[in-house]
Amino acid sequence: MDLKISNIILGPWMTDKAYKLNQELKKLVLRVHPHANKPMVKEALEKLFQVKVKNIRIVVRQGKRVRRFRKRETQKPLVKKAIVTLREGVAIDIWNQAGAPALPAETAPATKKANA
């Protein structure tokens, strides 16, 4: 299957364990396309973020158990993660880039005051 570089990396894997890996060991945990392999992920990271990759580990979590709802059976989808180690002195700050930015104190929504 021929994947585009922009379709290989689906986003950061945002869990407590992934945050700990990022802070202590300087590793990134990313969700990747189920058909992507190590060379594809490495090429995508190097071209999209202009960084040098030292090591990549791929983890595949199979879909969870089959659930039945009325006449249908469903199963959670397969999830593929890449644990990426970057070269020394190189960093990508995905934790501050992902999601909505934090609001500064002066632009935070005002709280409602009780009528006196």
Domain residue ranges of the chain, discontinuous segments joined by +: 5-90
Q: Is residue 107 over pLDDT 60? A: no
End-to-end Cα spacing for the chain? 67
Q: Is residue 65 over pLDDT 60? A: yes
**CB count, 10 Å around CB of 98?**
11
Pick one of 3.40.50.2300, 3.40.50.1100, 3.40.1160.10, 3.30.70.330 as the CATH number of 5-90.
Answer: 3.30.70.330
Q: Tell if the pTM clears 0.85, that is, is over it.
A: no
Residues 60, 44, 95: CA angle, nearest 5 degrees:
75
* Predicted confidence band of residue 90 (pLDDT cuts 50, 70, 90): confident
Mean pLDDT of the chain: 81
